[in-house]
Structure 1
Amino acid sequence: MKNNGRTIADTATTVADSAGVIRKHLDAFVTTAPLAESGTRKASETLNGVYERRCENQLVPDPACDDLKKAKDAAADAARLTADVNTVVQDYHGDMTALEKDLVTLQRQARALAKAAPHLSEDLDDAVTKVDALNKGAAKVAKGAGTLHTGLGTAKTGAADLDTGVGKLQTGATDLTGGMYKLVDGSGKLAGGLHDGADQIPDYDKQDRDARTQVMADPVQLASRDLHNAPNYGTGFAPYFIPLSLWVGAMVAYMLIQPLNRRALAAGSSAWRIALAGWLPVAAVGVLQTAALMSVLHWAIGLEMARAAGTVGFLFLVTACFAAIVQWLNARFGAAGRILVLALLMLQLTSAGGTYPVQTSPGFFNALHPFLPMSYVVEALRRLISGGGLGPVWQACAVLAAFTAGALALTALSARRKQVWTLDRLHPELSL
């Protein structure tokens, strides 16, 4: 004991100094915790108010709302952490007060031990008693120091989060400042543009305003104009009924005239000569019919034609074509050909588009329309009687010439076959 007295004295002095340091920091920690909680709470409330004014209560949110929200959240986290630290401090306030008293006692006893240590050998019993008391105080100090260490760890974490949040807050504030400058510049440009636009708005008088109101209320007006107007109902239907009468004339003519001359067939004449001999008389009758028909229509009924000579000449070609077609059907099919002539007339009347546009007819008649001669005759007569371009007229002439040539060729072929007698011709199954 004599040899270790100095060491004990030094150790006791160190313990006393350490207890003083711990007591000093404990006082600072107890005092700072409520202030940290109050400061972080006020910062969080301030940021919440800024965020509500600029982002939640505005029709057009501030461009820096995202950064403000991050800063607001970071401040709220920091406030919660400092609140937790302060709660720990308040919850253990009694223990810390007792710990402070124990530290005072420890410090006093340690200093007393340091003074008495050199004389321990002289008063060993008293030193043992004081060492026991010191041991008990040290145990209490260790327990309080553990609690303090835990609280300091929590405070350290909260302080780090608070530092991070403050950094984010500073960054968001910088961005907000830049955004405010941009907003000010944009507002100035907007004000200037509105001012310039207001200067460019014309000052209309009442008459101009009424006129523009009428235009806005009725911006589109429809104007209709007739091209090549037909003066009456009969003029509009003439292109339909004229070819009908010519077809019926050819059909009746071949009821009276043989399509193929029997004497020429018996004499062995050429097929083309026989076909032309049966066609020319009916074509001549058709020419006379056309002249009589157009005379009655023009002078008796009052039909006015935009191209009278062209109409008459075109009808001569029409009657020649119809005569050739009717001749072939009668020559090829005999008595049954008359029924086919009537059936073909019905098909032409329903698909020619003479009474209404053919596009409104069923698909069957739309398909037949381009393959029947009367379709072209009706369209051409409309241009010749009421006026218009001659493109459809020349097309109709080419089609009718092709039908005429084809029908005469088929009639010549039928005449060639008629020159050969068969049992069917000697004993026909049907005769009219």
Structure 2
Amino acid sequence: MNKIGTIYWTDLKKIATNWAAAVVILGLVFLPSLYAWFNIKASWDPYSQTSGIAIAVANNDTGSAIRDKQINLGNEIVNSLKDNKKIGWTFVSEEEAIKGVQEGDYYASIVIPADFSAKIATIMTNNPQKAEIIYTVNEKINAISPKITAKGASGVIEEVNQNFIKTANGTIFRIFNEIGVELQNQLPTIEKLKALVFRLEGMFPEINQAVGRGLTDVERAAQIAAKVQQDLPLVAQLGKDGTDFSNRLGDFLTKSEDALISVSPTIKADLALLQQAAAAAEQLAVVLQENKPDPAVAKALIDQTIKRLTVAASVTDKLKQALTRLEDISDGTRLMPAINKLGQAQSRFQEQVATLTKIKNAIDKGEQPAAELVDHMHKLAAETNAIVGDILGRYDSEIQPSVLNAIEQAKKANQRVGAVLTDAVQKLPEVTRVVQDVAKAFATGKKELQTIQQNLPTYEAQLKALATKMRALDKEANLREIIDLLRHDAQKESEFFAEPVVLKENRLFPIPNYGSAMSPFFTTLSLWVGALLLVSLLTVEVHHPETSYRSYQIYFGRFFTFLTIALLQSLFVTLGDIYLLGTYVCNKLWFVLFGLVLSAVFMLIVYTLVSVFGNIGKALAIVLLVLQLAGSGGTFPIQVTPPFFQAIHPFLPFTYAISMMREAVGGILWHVVTRDLMMLAVYVGIFLLLGLALKKVINRASTGFIQKAKESKLIH
């Protein structure tokens, strides 16, 4: 142990007493700091300095019109970019933009085509087309600049999209608002319509029955129309026959009128005969009352009187029938008194016949006729005589004029009937056409009703589906709620849908700038570089000819010298990061202490490699450095690196060294620090074992190789 200390103190004395060595040592202590500080400062806040990245902008948009409103979105984009100072936007022509990007004057270019607004306007057509912005980038100039320019270009697209969405949504929600107002106004009508749909749904069985009945009725009506068509020739013939009959009836009535005038005396004579018959019956009754004639004579008189009365009754009936027919065709009741009188006379004639028959029967039996019968006979005869006398007395003044008037009215009625029949016959062809059209209409109606009947199940299913959807809508959302939703503030809803989600950033372990965030990586890297500088300029061998040392004594004795310088390097780097650069460090003390730990571990690793393997160890340390630059995840997340580096990532010292330094910068999670320290302790154990167990063996085995290499005067 004393020899280890002797080596260490001897090295310190030589440094202190040899100014040249002291200068070199001071340089070695200071150089790693420069490496860290320059890199940290260079990357301090690059994304706030992007205004110097020139991007050419060429606007060729010629504009367009939407609903008679002129728009030029290209100009709006240019005006927006002029207010954006984050990127060095330069507004030039398309030719200058392309040439500038090719020659490296601009990192990228954005060209707005002439049809940009026109394509945006196609949203109002059935064939909307997406507008394009042509983005050209020169990736040869710089590896990072394309990412920055792409971010700027995507920002332009995002702003255009957001403004478009906001405007489009504003229009849509304004229309929704108008629809909501209209729905509110039409709500009673909608409710009635909904009730009507539900009512129709319940009435469909009745509708089916009604259509079935209608189809049956149409079929029956079609049959009737066919029958009418079939009977129309007969109707035409009847019309002609009726016309002929009317003409003949007119002639007959004229002749009847003339005949009535000519036979009027005969009628009066008939009435006189009726009166005579009545008088004869009355005289017979008187004879039977006052005298008791011989039965044979009485019977002869009775038979003669019965014949006259029977004839009188028959004549009376015929006169009554004739007057009744005339009364029927006239438009008054002027003949009714005479008809009634004739009826009374007829009934009395008949009753007298019956009474005389009874009297005759009594005489035939040898009996005396009852006085009541004879008196009744006398009374009937007297009444009949009076009635017939009254008719005869009024014949010239009332009956004959009434009869003539009735005949005249019959003639007029016949003329009207004749005219109607003539007109009907003339119109029969038109009626035939109408009936034919009706028959066709019935046929068409039958087809339509059959079609309706066939389609009714479909209509019923559709109506039921509509009613079901209405009920489901009522369950899911009330129509009034939908109307309230549609009537919301269109401006606010447009702004919401333009940006429905706002990113609320919750920064855990916040680090204010990029340089501070990169300080764990560059500090760790500088400590490894410092270790490499030490083994490159200082020897790991001990040259004390006067003293003999064991291998482990040389290993530890010279290591402590390297360790001391490495710790000084770490102090310079970490304290300079904090106080010279102003790097943000959450836990400053631990940042310095962790730096000392890392410096000791790295120095042990590099020193052991060189101590054991000589110059080959230096090469191994450099190879390990190169692998750790890409495989430690210090710059990019390890997940974005190739599989090889992801595979070696857990086995590299930098992985845990950078992690531990990040804990000090952002905020310490002690379980993470503990894990990192344990992994670094594993490396310490491995390389201590390597240095103590293999140094002597490998040094002895490689002596010849090293000596031969030195003879080349190229390798020391």
1:72 is matched with which residue?
A: none
2:334 corresponds to 1:53: no
2:650 corresponds to 1:365: no
What is the distance in 2 between the residues matched to 1:282 and 1:348?
Answer: 22
What is the distance in 2 between the residues matched to 1:223 and 1:253?
Answer: 49
2:637 corresponds to 1:336: no
Shift in alpha-carbon separation, 1:246–1:55, aligned structure 2, 3 A: farther
2:536 corresponds to 1:241: no
**Partner SS, residue 505 of structure 2:** coil
Counterpart code for 2:584: E
**Correspondence 1:194-209 to 2 at 5 A:** 194=474, 197-198=478-479, 201=482, 203=484, 208=489
**Partner SS, residue 502 of structure 2:** coil
**Total equivalences in the alignment:** 275
Gaps of 5+ in 2: 1-222, 227-442
Aligned identity (percent) is 24
Counterpart code for 1:252: L
2:583 is matched with which residue?
A: 303
1:224 is matched with which residue?
A: 505
1:251 is matched with which residue?
A: 532
2:684 is matched with which residue?
A: 404
1:17 is matched with which residue?
A: none
1:159 is matched with which residue?
A: none
1:50: how far off?
A: 5.7
2:559 corresponds to 1:279: yes
- Aligned-residue Cα RMSD (Å) equals 4.3
Aligned with residue 324 of structure 1, among 579, 589, 604: 604
**Deviation digits for residues 196-235 of structure 1, max 9, x if unmatched?**
9335557469665654454455433333344333323321
**Deviation digits for residues 227-266 of structure 1, max 9, x if unmatched?**
33332332122111111221122122223444354669x8
What is the distance in 2 between the residues matched to 1:188 and 1:351?
Answer: 65
Counterpart code for 2:518: F
**Correspondence 1:14-33 to 2 at 5 A:** none
Q: Using CA pairs below 8 Å that are at least 6 residues apart, which structure has the higher relative contact order?
A: 2
What is the distance in 1 between the residues matched to 2:498 and 2:602?
Answer: 58
What is the distance in 2 between the residues matched to 1:350 and 1:191?
Answer: 65
8 Å Cα contact 1:274/1:415 also seen in 2: no
**Deviation digits for residues 386-424 of structure 1, max 9, x if unmatched?**
335344322221111111111111011222315756772
2:568 is matched with which residue?
A: 288
1:20 is matched with which residue?
A: none
8 Å Cα contact 1:268/1:419 also seen in 2: no
8 Å Cα contact 1:305/1:384 also seen in 2: yes
What is the distance in 1 between the residues matched to 2:542 and 2:678?
Answer: 29
Shift in alpha-carbon separation, 1:355–1:346, aligned structure 2, 3 A: same
**Partner SS, residue 248 of structure 1:** helix
411-420 or 342-351, larger mean C-alpha shift: 411-420
Shift in alpha-carbon separation, 1:55–1:216, aligned structure 2, 3 A: farther
1:108 is matched with which residue?
A: none
8 Å Cα contact 2:571/2:595 also seen in 1: no
**Deviation digits for residues 33-76 of structure 1, max 9, x if unmatched?**
xx9xx9xxxxx999975663255488x55459xxxxxxxxxxxx
8 Å Cα contact 1:278/1:327 also seen in 2: no
What is the distance in 2 between the residues matched to 1:323 and 1:215?
Answer: 59
What is the distance in 2 between the residues matched to 1:346 and 1:217?
Answer: 48
216-225 or 196-205, larger mean C-alpha shift: 196-205
2:656 corresponds to 1:376: yes
**Partner SS, residue 478 of structure 2:** helix
2:674 is matched with which residue?
A: 394
**Deviation digits for residues 121-178 of structure 1, max 9, x if unmatched?**
xxxxxxxxxxxxxxxxxxxxxxxxxxxxxxxxxxxxxxxxxxxxxxxxxxxxxxxxxx
TM-score normalised over the length of structure 2: 0.33
8 Å Cα contact 1:54/1:62 also seen in 2: no
What is the distance in 2 between the residues matched to 1:188 and 1:255?
Answer: 88
8 Å Cα contact 2:511/2:517 also seen in 1: yes
**Partner SS, residue 236 of structure 1:** helix
8 Å Cα contact 1:297/1:303 also seen in 2: yes
Counterpart code for 1:240: F
1:379: how far off?
A: 2.4
8 Å Cα contact 2:587/2:667 also seen in 1: yes
**Deviation digits for residues 106-126 of structure 1, max 9, x if unmatched?**
xxxxxxxxxxxxxxxxxxxxx
8 Å Cα contact 1:307/1:385 also seen in 2: yes
What is the distance in 2 between the residues matched to 1:184 and 1:354?
Answer: 68
Shift in alpha-carbon separation, 1:51–1:354, aligned structure 2, 3 A: farther
8 Å Cα contact 1:240/1:378 also seen in 2: yes
What is the distance in 2 between the residues matched to 1:259 and 1:326?
Answer: 11
Shift in alpha-carbon separation, 1:200–1:362, aligned structure 2, 3 A: closer
**Correspondence 1:60-99 to 2 at 5 A:** 60-62=458-460
What is the distance in 2 between the residues matched to 1:361 and 1:189?
Answer: 56
8 Å Cα contact 2:574/2:591 also seen in 1: no
**Correspondence 1:159-170 to 2 at 5 A:** none
8 Å Cα contact 2:612/2:699 also seen in 1: no
1:343: how far off?
A: 2.0
Counterpart code for 2:533: V
What is the distance in 2 between the residues matched to 1:337 and 1:278?
Answer: 16
2:704 is matched with which residue?
A: 424
8 Å Cα contact 2:520/2:662 also seen in 1: yes
